């Protein structure tokens, strides 16, 4: 499932084609994805201008001139792809319609935005913009890891006394929004913390040091266009490249990348998820 860097990369790719432009035509080709689409979704989208294209955790948020916000979740295999004319004089030819092109937005910018989702675990909803924080998908989310609310004192307070493994605590979207398995594994490696350690047993000094490491990993991943492991593509169809610089994720049995470390990368299963780490470097 795309994590924060992948969704942020898609948002940035869509920005020039969507923000400040109207949805001339909205075509909804099925009644649902993971859940039913909102009533009259095509009618409610058509003619509206996207006043702001934002992101909250792993969700794209398109604020509309109607006072509603289109919430988009990519799910396991969802893609938001751009074709047609782009601001700046670029042109990406329209691909032939595909079986899993479920929602198509023709923008006044000349671009076409196609939501393609083979597994149909994605989702879309419309919600009043002024009450967006009350939506059931968003209301319990923790702070954004790249925002000011995610700071050393906050994380120390949230992890204090917790008996769950630090890996599970960081995957808890109520603690911090947008982190997923890949980037938690990578952040814990860079911080030298084993995923097995109980969150409440990580020293305050190490928790404080973990905050800038989380930000660094996410910023590096965004700069690389995210990680493409299976279905993920950027808005223009390109792959992400961060997977080529993984230090632990999906590297079981390979040598540790830390200079002079004799260890090899191990994998354990925690709460049904694979955790990759170096037993020698991470304590």
The residues annotated as belonging to the active site are: 2-3, 58, 273
CB 277 within 8 A of CB 194: yes
Instruction: Round to whole Å and give the CA distance between 165 and 194.
Output: 9
> DSSP H helical segments within the chain, as ranges?
4-18, 41-45, 152-159, 166-171, 181-191, 204-223
Instruction: Round to whole Å and give the CA distance between 282 and 209.
Output: 14
Instruction: Round to whole Å and give the CA distance between 215 and 275.
Output: 20
CB 84 within 8 A of CB 16: no
**H or E stretch covering 259:** none
């Amino acid at each position: 499932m795309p994590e924060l860097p992948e969704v942020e990369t898609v948002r940035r790719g869509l920005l020039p084609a969507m923000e400040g432009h109207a949805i001339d035509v909205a075509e909804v080709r099925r009644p649902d994805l993971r859940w039913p689409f909102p009533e009259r979704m095509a009618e409610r989208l058509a003619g509206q201008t996207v006043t702001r294209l934002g992101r909250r955790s792993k969700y794209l948020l398109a604020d509309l001139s109607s006072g509603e916000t289109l919430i988009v979740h990519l799910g396991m295999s969802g893609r938001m792809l751009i074709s047609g004319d782009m601001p700046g004089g670029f042109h990406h030819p329209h691909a032939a319609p595909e079986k899993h092109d479920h929602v198509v937005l023709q923008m006044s910018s000349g671009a076409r935005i196609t939501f393609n989702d083979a597994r149909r675990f994605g989702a879309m909803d419309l919600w009043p913009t002024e009450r967006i924080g009350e939506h059931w998908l968003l209301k319990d989310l923790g702070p954004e890891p790249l925002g000011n609310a995610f700071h050393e004192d906050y994380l120390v307070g949230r992890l204090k006394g917790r008996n769950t493994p630090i890996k599970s605590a960081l995957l808890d979207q109520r603690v911090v929004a947008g982190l997923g398995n890949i980037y938690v594994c990578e952040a814990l490696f860079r911080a030298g913390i084993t995923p097995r350690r109980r969150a409440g047993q990580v020293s305050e000094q190490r928790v404080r040091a973990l905050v800038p490491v989380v930000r660094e990993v996410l910023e590096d991943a965004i700069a690389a266009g995210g990680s493409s492991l299976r279905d993920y593509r950027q808005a223009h169809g390109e792959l992400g490249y961060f997977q080529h610089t993984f230090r632990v994720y999906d590297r079981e049995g390979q040598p540790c990348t830390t200079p002079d470390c004799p260890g090899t990368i191990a994998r354990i299963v925690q709460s049904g998820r694979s955790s990759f780490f170096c037993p020698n470097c991470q304590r």
